[in-house]
Amino acid sequence: MDIGLLKLWGMRLLFILTAFVVLFFHLLPLNPAPSHWAGPDVLVAMVFAWAVRRPDYVPVLLVAAVMLLADMLLQRPPGLWSVLVVCATEWLKSRERRQRETTFVLEWLTFAGTFIVITILYRAVMMILILVPGTLTLSLVQVVLTIAVYPIVVVVSYFLFGVRRSAPGDMDRLGRTQ
Amino acid sequence: MAKNGTNSEAYTTPLRRLLLAVVVLCLLGLFFVWRIDSPRVERFRAVVIDTVIPSFDWAMAPVTATVNLARDFRSYQRIYEQNQELRRELRQMTAWKEAALQLEQENAKLRDLNNVRLDPRLTYITGVVLADSGSPFRQSVLINVGSRDGIVDGWATMDGTGLVGRISGVGANTSRVIMLTDATSRIPATIQPSGQRALIVGDNTSAPPIDFLEDPDQVRPGDRIVTSGDGEVFPPGLLIGQVAQDPGGRLRTRLAADYERLEFLRVLRDHGARRVSNPSALILPETPPAATDTAVAEPAD
């Protein structure tokens, strides 16, 4: 039990560290000139991939804090993107509890749908509040690349970090079977 | 054990929902506060960045250096061509240098006749670029000088040759430079030699378009664009770039500053710059009460 608790907090710490590494690479001043394409949002892909597999590794507060920090550092309107990601994560978690037998393709499609919906909402809110949401092409490139990068994020989380669905016999800290 | 588990789940689910609701409300609240009173939240953001980014710096510098080294290495492959190119350019430059020397002497003589003094207040502080904006939707860089070094919001920032942007967001040790290419950047400019006034409007491309031009016919590609000093945004006469025309016929700015490689930036001290401390200061004059007082007082007399 104690080891399980230790592992849980270890994984949460690992999540924070990985988030910092991702942000670090976002912030590297390699080419300050405007570019024609946007990189994938690896952070959101990671949050969703972890939330689907092990919801207890990414609790609400942790996701909110990390995403808010990302909003602050990456010059986004503070709070908007994080609130969308938090809601989407919670929705994915609740959905995951209802149906446990999912194939990867279905999971990928769900991820794609969720990411597209929150991007549309994000742009819609920004336009309603007369903020500059950036060009549509950049957003489209970012959506496509993020969806494309999702399997890689899943594979890395699975093999490198060992984030996998718990087997039926496994129980988490609260004794629930996942 | 299992029974215990279901029990605790029955308690935790409503609690979890409550937590989620609180978190969502807090985030939304922060977003709306930012929308209503953005200077305060942006000041908070500057403080957050000021604490987080300098702790990345020890790792950022070597990684950036390594990537740049790899990039430079690729350019070694065509070193012979480059050498030839540089020799050609150097020959042209010596001719220009001769012309410049003569002009400088002439200029000095004329200044002497006119008794002109260059503005001694316009000195600068040099900072090193620490970090990117981190998002392709925003064009800004973070430099390693801040309020500790006397940096103030709104000062102009240049690289060796041309204007790069405007200070917006100052922390104790860092400050953010919103570049001319950012979608929120609007800089009043004058186009030489015709003297036409225009706005350089950032649109997230490397060549910002020229907008609100009085008479486009008087402007030709290749004309110099300098800041006009209108609205006390920037001191007048700072070089922005040259006029260029895109295939669609729209006039754009070819920026003089080398945006591909921003490493050191000069922040020009400008004590006459207008300071924006509260959200309404951009639209309303700084001292409206005095004006209204006299207006009210006069009919009473």
Q: Are B192 and B236 in contact (CB under 8 A)?
A: no
Q: How far apart are CA B204 and CA B184, in angstroms?
A: 9
Q: How many CB pairs under 8 A join A and B?
A: 147
Which of A73, A89, A171, A172 to mutate: most B Cβ within 10 Å?
A73
- Sheet containing strand B196-201, edge to edge, reads B210-211, B196-201, B186-192, B224-227, B239-245, B251-255
pLDDT for residue B21? 93
Segment-wise mean pLDDT, segments of 10 residues, chain A, 178 residues: 84 93 87 80 92 88 94 91 94 77 84 94 92 85 94 91 70 47
Cross-chain CB nearest to A24 (options B31, B59, B181):
B59
Q: Which of B196, B253, B201 is nearest to B222 (CA)?
A: B253
Number of residues that make up chain A? 178
Taking the model in full, what pTM does it have? 0.80
pLDDT digits (tens, 9 = 90+) for B255-295: 988 888 888 899 988 776 666 666 555 555 556 555 444 44
How would you class A35 by CB atoms within 10 Å of its CB: exposed for 0-12, middle for 13-18, buried for 19 or more? middle
Flag if B136 and A90 touch (Cβ within 8 Å): no
Kindly list the distances between the CA atom of residue B153 and the CA atoms of A24, A90, B156, B166, in Å, as whole numbers in the listed order. 26, 40, 9, 8
Residue B193, preceding bond cis, omega within 30 degrees? yes
Task: Summarize the confidence of residues B4-27 as an average pLDDT.
Answer: 76
Helix/strand/coil for B103: helix
Q: How many CB atoms sit inside 10 A of residue A23's CB? A: 21
The distance between the two most distant Cα atoms of chain A, rounded to a whole number of Å, is: 53
Give domain B124-271's CATH architecture. Beta Barrel (2.40)
Q: Residue B126: what residue type?
A: T
**Taking 50 as the threshold, does the pLDDT of residue B14 lie above it?**
yes
Q: Which of A133, A146, A115, A128 is nearest to B137 (CA)?
A: A133
* A103 phi-psi bin (left φ>0, alpha ψ -120 to 50, beta other): beta
Q: Which of A68, A74, A66 is nearest to A18 (CA)?
A: A66
**CA distance, residue B199 to nearest chain A CA (Å):** 18
Flag if B259 and A78 touch (Cβ within 8 Å): no
Helix/strand/coil percent split, chain B, to 5:
45, 20, 30
pLDDT for residue A169? 52
Element (H, E) at B200: strand B196-201
Flag if B134 and A27 touch (Cβ within 8 Å): yes
**CA distance, residue A27 to nearest chain B CA (Å):** 4
pLDDT for residue B285? 57
Element (H, E) at B251: strand B251-255
pLDDT for residue B8? 53
Q: How far apart are CA A26 and CA A19, in angstroms?
A: 11
Flag if B134 and A26 touch (Cβ within 8 Å): yes
Q: Which of B255, B158, B157, B267 is nearest to B203 (CA)?
A: B255
